[in-house]
Amino acid sequence: MQTNLEWATLLRVPPDMLAEVADEKTIRGLVAGVIKSDTAAYELFAQACRFEAPFATSWIHGPGERSPYLSLELAAASLDDDRYRSLLGDIVLSTSAAIPYDYRALAGQALARIGVGELTGPLTHVVESFEPLASRSLEAKVSVPTDGIDHLFDIPETVAGRIALVVAATEAKTMESRYLLARRVLGQGDPVPAARSVAERLIVDDVGTTMISPADYLVPWDQELAGPDGGKLTLAELMRIVLLCPEFKLPDATVRPILVDFYRSVLRVSGRAIIGLAAGVFHVEHGVLATPSYYYQGRDAILGKGCVIDCVGGAILQRGTFLGGGFMPILIHTHKHIRGSGDSGASERKKILPCVFAAEAGARFPMDAIGLFETVDYLGKDAPYQGIRAVPVD
């Protein structure tokens, strides 16, 4: 048996380095045996299952043979019922923002299947104590300053101030995710609806758990979060801060994990999904219009370096898709402005035709696709790249 230091080091190994230090098949058997028999080893494994530092990028979160996550597969196969139930409850109830939403939901589905037992009380407390986030009122939207094109809003002058905004938003949206899943585990929420639109079916087919509704990825862009000096920023405004401020574009050991947590909580990107350096997702209001739109990024899906999605219409990136990269300037535009006879530029800007950019599982949007991809142009026709298509909003 290994010492705790050796065990902790082993759990820290990222997936791309595992083959250099150990045989994966042998290590899987070792993990299964140790977490079953050694309490201290189990506690570190449980910490890893909550994606707590320094285990958030551990190899045990790679794909299993029968599960999207090896860590959940090992837990199911190795732990007795009480300890397994406790671990699943910890994952669902954890305030760790690093836990991907789909991972938390898969744990919730397993918990509902085996029965919540004594976790009824903690789950009920999460449901009853949750305070929903408000959306910006029409009156408030009308009073927002504008330069005629963009809404104007206050941004903290310091890096520390901007990071504090991101952290506050991350915490708030993590609480929202806990609430949604706690309700469903308890059977108190509305049944997860069957998919109806093409976009909804794409999400349901990809995410692989009945504990998740497609509506969980319908981003409420005018939802308000804590802003500077006691004010409020909408989610759309905060996304633009993250996209445009330089500190979020660097692979910094302090800021990058905070940004990954932000994407996992606010956009609910799936486990092992990556939004690359200088890449991002944003939404720009058109007058007071801030219609919710889908953003879904499946497991192992990558939005490559320099690739940006304007998500007014919506975007669905299924498992293993890879969009752009190499710091190539690529804008995926998910709506088109419509100009009627006699319309001014301002009128054109507020008349839009939205659609959903869809990348099917394994699709590749090449790095040499520089410039603008106007998704609406491919409604009802083939796009130039295999697995890439335009999907109607409804």
pLDDT string in tens for the chain (394-residue length): 343 448 888 899 998 888 888 877 788 888 888 899 889 999 999 999 999 999 999 999 999 999 999 999 999 999 999 999 999 999 999 999 999 999 999 999 999 999 999 999 999 999 999 999 999 999 988 888 988 778 899 999 999 999 999 999 999 999 999 999 999 999 987 767 777 899 999 999 999 999 999 999 999 999 999 888 888 999 999 999 999 999 999 889 999 999 999 999 999 999 999 999 999 999 988 777 788 999 999 999 999 999 999 999 999 999 999 999 888 889 999 998 887 666 655 555 667 899 999 999 999 998 888 899 999 999 999 999 999 999 999 8
Q: Which two tokens stand for residue 266?
A: 């606010």
pTM for this entry: 0.94
Query: Residue 319 gets which letter from DSSP?
Result: T
Question: What crossing angle do the helices spanning 4-12 and 39-49 adopt, rounded to 10°?
Answer: 20
Q: Which two tokens stand for residue 94?
A: 């954890």
Quick check: helix, strand or coil at residue 185?
Answer: helix
Q: Which two tokens stand for residue 215?
A: 């509506």
Q: What is the DSSP string of 175-216?
A: HHHHHHHHHHHHT-SPPPPPP-SHHHHHHHHHH--TT--GGG
- How far apart (Å, rounded) are the C-alpha atoms in residues 57 and 380? 40
